[in-house]
Amino acid sequence: MNLIGNILWLIFGGFVSFIQYMISGFLLCLTIIGIPFGLQCFKIAFFVLMPFGRQVREVPGQTGCLATLFNIIWIFIGGLWIALGHFVFGLLLCITIIGIPFGRQHFKLMSLSFTPFGKEVY
């Protein structure tokens, strides 16, 4: 079932989102200051590529002051707007029964894109 969900996800916008996150990651990696944020964009991009069957969890021991500081910077730079976008798409998709699985994936993406530092995808 996860394979079918991932294929449908890619067809109906997942691949475009993957490309957008990859471009953002490459642009952020052009500067030394942006490299940690670019790496988080790559993490989100590969999660966007195939979200069905994967989960996001907190990494134990990785929630230090540096991860907290980077999450705060990430929120102000654009993480809030990215998370709100995933939230709105999740709500819109959950209106129909067919869209509920895709809406749930947007809610998982919302939690990762709001504060990506200190989280891992497994």
Q: How confident is the model at residue 62 (pLDDT cuts 50, 70, 90)?
A: low
Paired tokens of 37 = 């944020």
Q: How far is residue 80 from each of residues 11, 47, 113, measured CA to CA in Å?
A: 26, 18, 8
In this structure, are residues 91 and 103 in contact, taking their beta carbons and an 8 Å threshold? yes
Percent of the chain with pLDDT over 70: 98
d(CA 50, CA 2): 9
Assess whether pLDDT exceeds 70 at residue 88. Answer: yes
Task: Give pLDDT, residue 40.
Answer: 95
Task: Give pLDDT, residue 23.
Answer: 95
Round the average pLDDT of the chain to a whole number and report it.
Answer: 92
Percent of the chain with pLDDT over 90: 80
Q: What is the mean pLDDT of residues 83-103?
A: 93
Assess whether pLDDT exceeds 80 at residue 64. Answer: no
Assess whether pLDDT exceeds 70 at residue 57. Answer: yes
Residue 19 Cα to chain centre, angstroms: 13
Closest CA relative to residue 119, chosen from 54, 75, 111 = 111
Neighbouring residues of 91: CB distance < 8 A, sequence distance ≥ 6: 103
**Backbone region of residue 115 per phi and psi (left: phi > 0; alpha: psi in -120 to 50; beta: other values):** beta
Q: What is the mean pLDDT of residues 32-57?
A: 94
